[in-house]
Amino acid sequence: MSYQKKTDYAPHIAPEASVRCEAEGCAEPGMYKAPKSKNRLHDYRWLCLEHVREHNRQWDFFKGFDAAAIEDFIRDAVTGHRPTWSRESRVRQSYHQIQDALYEFLNPGSKAFRAAPAPPKLQKALRTLEMNYPYTARQLKRHYRALVKKHHPDVNRGDKTSEEIFKKITVAYRVLLEHLDSF
Ligand SMILES: [Zn+2]
């Protein structure tokens, strides 16, 4: 099910029965929306059921994504087993991008995936590193490095407060790094 009934969402658009299917020469009511591309998920056409089905058959959702990540994604979708991430982080990044894009496709305009609350065990570490959830390995490293630069005891002449902050930052970094694979 990769299409949605018009009435299920998009309250900013009046569910007028008079909207025609945008497929050329079609006179059926356009009740389903179809994104124009996966890079433009908020930009869509209204189609009738028959044409939205045709659209979905032709829509190569995975085009442009990392092949190994697609493999993992499909295996996960079919078996429910999360990949073990023995592969490089590039694959993991791509996998998460697929998840995001697919979620956006199925729930147009929704930020629910991104706005999912962080697990309680990560909240303190996220606050310490001034980060949002979910995060990527790159974001984690960037925040960690920036804070280390600022609070490293060496640059603060052995200041005790800096030393405490530095320790907290490092602990938080390890916690977040460890859980990078769990979402
Ligand atoms: Zn049509």
Cα of 30 to ligand 1 centre, how many Å?
Answer: 7
Cα of 16 to ligand 1 centre, how many Å?
Answer: 16
Identify the CATH number of the domain in which residue 174 sits.
1.10.287.110
Residue 41 lies in a domain: yes
The confidence score (pLDDT) of residue 18 equals 57
What 3-state DSSP class applies to 133?
coil
Cα of 28 to ligand 1 centre, how many Å?
Answer: 5
Residue 159 lies in a domain: yes
Residues 6+ apart with CB under 8 A from 103: 110, 112, 113
The confidence score (pLDDT) of residue 117 equals 67
Whether 133 and 170 share a structural domain: yes
The confidence score (pLDDT) of residue 170 equals 92
Strand partners, 46: 33
Q: Are 93 and 150 in contact (CB under 8 A)?
A: no
Strand partners, 34: 45
Residue 33 lies in a domain: yes
Residue 175 lies in a domain: yes
Cα of 48 to ligand 1 centre, how many Å?
Answer: 4
Residue 150 lies in a domain: yes
Cα of 17 to ligand 1 centre, how many Å?
Answer: 14
Cα of 72 to ligand 1 centre, how many Å?
Answer: 34
Cα of 176 to ligand 1 centre, how many Å?
Answer: 48
Whether 133 and 172 share a structural domain: yes
Cα of 34 to ligand 1 centre, how many Å?
Answer: 12
Which helix (DSSP H) or strand (DSSP E) does residue 173 occupy? Answer: helix 160-178
What 3-state DSSP class applies to 44?
strand
Whether 99 and 124 share a structural domain: no
Cα of 38 to ligand 1 centre, how many Å?
Answer: 21
Residue 165 to residue 168: CA distance in whole angstroms: 5
Residue 9: Cβ-neighbour burial (10 angstroms; 0-12, 13-18, 19+): middle
Residue 80 to residue 173: CA distance in whole angstroms: 29
Longest dimension (CA), the chain: 76
Cα of 58 to ligand 1 centre, how many Å?
Answer: 15
The confidence score (pLDDT) of residue 113 equals 45
DSSP label of 153: G
Cα of 63 to ligand 1 centre, how many Å?
Answer: 25
Quickly list H helices, 59-159. Answer: 67-79, 89-106, 120-128, 137-151
**pLDDT per residue rounded down to tens, the chain (183 residues):** 444 444 444 433 435 545 788 998 998 888 887 877 666 667 778 888 888 878 877 776 777 777 777 777 777 777 777 776 656 677 777 777 777 777 766 665 555 444 456 788 888 999 999 887 777 888 888 889 988 888 887 777 878 888 888 899 999 999 998 887 655
Q: What is the value of pTM for the model shown? A: 0.40
Whether 52 and 77 share a structural domain: no
Residues 6+ apart with CB under 8 A from 45: 22, 30, 33, 34, 36
Q: Are 152 and 112 in contact (CB under 8 A)?
A: no
For ligand 1, a single-atom ion, the residues with CB < 5 A are 21, 23, 26, 28, 48, 51
The confidence score (pLDDT) of residue 179 equals 83
Total structural domains in the chain?
Answer: 3
Residue 49 lies in a domain: yes
Whether 78 and 100 share a structural domain: yes
Structural domain of 125: 120-182
